[in-house]
Each structure stands twice: as C-alpha cells, then as structure tokens.
Amino acid sequence: MSTLNKRVEQEVNDLVEHGRRLLSHVQTLGDSASGEELAEITMWITRLGQVIRRLYGPSSQHMKSYESALSTTAFYNLHSNWNNHLAQMLGVAKALKHDIDAGLLQDFRRLVQADIFADFLEMGEHLLNEGYKDAAAVIIGSVLEDGLRKLAELHSVPAVSDSGRPLTIEPLNAELARHEVYSKLTQKQITSWAHVRNKAAHGQYDEYSKDQVQMMLAFVQGFSGDHLS
C-alpha cells in the first residue's frame, strides 16, 4: 500500500471512530450542542465532506447521502432527541471504511483512470485522423507512460530511482517486466513505442510514420484494456 493510501485509510478510520464518539455524546445531551462541542462536530463534518469529495467527486452516491443529511432542517441543533441526521453522517463514514477495507476504492479509481485514459486516447485518435501524427504520438505515448506508473503503484513496483527521481518510461518498463507484471514480449513492444514517442517529443518527425503511430494507438488501447480496466 502506498503512503498516500495509508494516509487515506488512517483518516477514514479516524473519522469513523471520532464520529462514533460524537454521536454517543450527542445522544446523552439534554440541551443542544454548543461552544467547543459544536465546533468539534462541525470540524468532523467538514473533514468528512472533504474526504468524500476528494475520493469520489461531487456527484457520487456517497456525496449525495452526505448532502442529504446535511440539508436536514436545523442540522446543528443536536441533542439527545435530534441526532438521526448525525447518525446518517456516521453511516456515510462507515461506507467509506467499507470501501477501503474491501478494496473497492482501488477498483473505483482504476475505473476512473481507465475512463481518463480512454478520453486521451480518443483525443490522440482524432488528431491522428486529422493528420497531426506528431501531436498524436506525444499524447498516446504520455498515456502509455502514465499507465505504467499506475501499474507500478497497483503492484507495489518502485517507480522512483535511488535518488528519488521518478523513473522514465524505459526504466519503469524494465522494472514492471522484472516483477512479471507483464511479459518480456510486452516489454519489447513498449520499448519500441516509447522510441516513437521520444522521437515525436524531440522533433524527429521524419523518423516515424503515420502508420506506426496508428499501430502504437492500437497497442496502447489493447494494453489499457488488458491491464488498466
């Protein structure tokens, strides 16, 4: 698990435990929460909203559930007889924890990434069809490199050098093949397409053809479907 994923998991676990304590406390209050109690509840609600938005976006079901609870009339008038909406909030936090514990968040991210890759590949295909082979080669090659980085993260393969610098496409390709994420044949294919991408990026436009970029596009589309969806 990456450092970022560990931090997300820790934050969600803390939100669940903190939310449980807050709800338990509110359920014993005779008067409405105020002062420092209300400030702590507000902070918890804000943290939860930030996590949902960053992980799932503003249109997700989790965000809709969160906003539904937040829209409750007199939301912050919390006491022993008025706290079901806070319990709803805690339910959303528990749903986040469930997603993380079950590995669903990682699957969700992969789906989102696959959609993003598809959008950029469509852009590359459009440019290629319009006769802009060089721009298409750069975009398609960038999608391939970004895909390799996502694969490295998914399989816990080092994506930085000993000095802490991000690996470029060829060293990253070699590491993924060495860890048997894909075959040596795939490694060789990636190497050949990386050369096309590098030539395009360095203005060596006469050293590859439109047909090669077309084959590069087909390879990256297949590679994304096999490994990133």
What is the average per-residue pLDDT within 112-118? 54
- pLDDT one-digit tens code per residue, 163-222: 888 888 999 999 999 999 999 999 999 999 999 999 998 999 999 999 999 999 999 888
Quick one: pLDDT at residue 124? 86
Least confident of 71-75, 119-123, 131-135: 119-123
Give residue 111's pLDDT band: very low, low, confident or very high (50, 70, 90): very low
Among the listed residues 31, 54, 34, the one whose alpha carbon sits nearest the alpha carbon of residue 42: 34
- Nearest CA to 217 out of 117, 149, 148 is that of 117
Per mean pLDDT, which range of 76-90, 92-106, 182-196 is the poorest? 92-106
pLDDT of the residue at 150? 84
State the DSSP code for 165. Answer: P
The pTM for the full model equals: 0.52
Domains in the chain: boundaries: 3-101, 104-227
Mean pLDDT computed over 132-139: 91
Residue found by looking up tokens 């190497």 in the block: 191
Average pLDDT over residues 107-136: 73
- Over residues 51-77, the mean pLDDT reads 89
Beta bridge partners of 166: 160
Give me the pLDDT at residue 46, please: 95
pLDDT of 110 over the 80 cut: no
End-to-end alpha carbon distance in the chain: 19
- pLDDT band per the 50, 70, 90 thresholds, residue 112: very low
pLDDT (mean) for 4-15: 83
- With 80 as the cut, is the pLDDT of residue 3 above it? no
- Write the burial class of residue 44 (CB in 10 Å: 0-12 exposed, 13-18 middle, 19+ buried): buried
Q: What is the CATH number that goes with domain 104-227?
A: 1.20.120
Of 69, 133, 125, 114, nearest in space to 228 by CA: 114
Average pLDDT score over residue span 147-158: 86
